[in-house]
């Protein structure tokens, strides 16, 4: 309802949340969750009462896998549907409930600087490989401050740049530069670049 990406998440059933003492009756088309919702955690979208973006991110963190939950959380932060401060504060309200630790893990990992599903997945892959947390949206400049381009993630101290690549031409700068400008400039300024192309690039 909030337009969050739900990567690799089955959408065969509708999930609803009811305040206690309602029962969590479910069938293959409707899954009911019983949880206490404060009035400020509910909003209207197209006249439908839904959980607000902050609570939605937490509920996704409790219910679906880590990777798709991070993707949704990154998008919510990037789109300014919520903030890190709101998410951290809301964690207090679900502390001790089922899935609250998983939700906290998602919140603490989420980063609104990720700009796509692929970038969020790339961050998870780097973490799973036990690599250091990268800088995001890493800009590269030539001497004199001339902007060469920007990578999805990077390690500036190592001069390593990374890019999630869903099929576009390599080194195509987002500033409108021609690919040849970046490929020619890269060796001269001693940056190495890697492309990360997961099997599913949606």
Per residue in 15-55, pLDDT tens?
999 988 888 788 889 999 999 999 999 999 999 999 999 99
Task: Of 8-12, 42-46, 185-189, give the range with the top mean pLDDT.
Answer: 42-46
- How does the average pLDDT of the chain come out, rounded? 86
Q: Say whether 85 sits in a helix, a strand or coil.
A: helix
What is the predicted pLDDT for the residue at 63? 95
CA distance 177 to 173: 5
Choose between 95 and 174: higher pLDDT: 95
Q: How far is CA 186 from the centre of its chain?
A: 29
Cα angle 172, 175, 177 (rounded to 5 degrees) comes to 55
Q: Are 55 and 38 in contact (CB under 8 A)?
A: no
What's the average model confidence in pLDDT over 83-106? Answer: 96
Q: Is the pLDDT of residue 199 over 70?
A: no
Which of the 8 DSSP states describes residue 199? S
What's the average model confidence in pLDDT over 128-140? Answer: 94
Q: Is the pLDDT of residue 184 over 80?
A: no
Q: Are 120 and 114 in contact (CB under 8 A)?
A: yes
Q: Is the pLDDT of residue 168 over 60?
A: no
């Amino acid at each position: 309802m909030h337009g969050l990406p739900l990567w690799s998440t089955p959408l065969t059933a509708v999930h609803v949340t009811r305040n206690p003492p309602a029962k969590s009756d479910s069938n293959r088309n409707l899954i009911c969750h019983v949880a206490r919702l404060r009035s400020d955690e509910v909003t209207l979208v197209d006249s439908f009462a839904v959980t607000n973006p902050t609570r939605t991110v937490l509920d996704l963190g409790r219910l679906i896998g880590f990777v798709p939950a991070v993707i949704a959380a990154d998008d919510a932060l990037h789109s300014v549907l919520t903030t890190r401060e709101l998410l951290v504060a809301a964690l207090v309200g679900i502390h001790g409930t089922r899935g609250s630790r998983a939700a906290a893990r998602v919140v603490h990992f989420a980063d609104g600087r990720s700009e796509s599903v692929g970038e969020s997945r790339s961050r998870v892959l780097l973490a799973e490989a036990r690599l250091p947390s990268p800088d995001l949206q890493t800009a590269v400049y030539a001497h004199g401050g001339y902007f060469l381009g920007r990578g999805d993630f990077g390690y500036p101290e190592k001069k390593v740049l990374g890019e999630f690549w869903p099929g576009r031409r390599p080194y195509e700068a987002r500033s409108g530069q021609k690919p040849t400008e970046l490929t020619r400039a890269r060796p001269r300024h001693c940056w190495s670049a890697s492309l990360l192309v997961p099997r599913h690039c949606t």
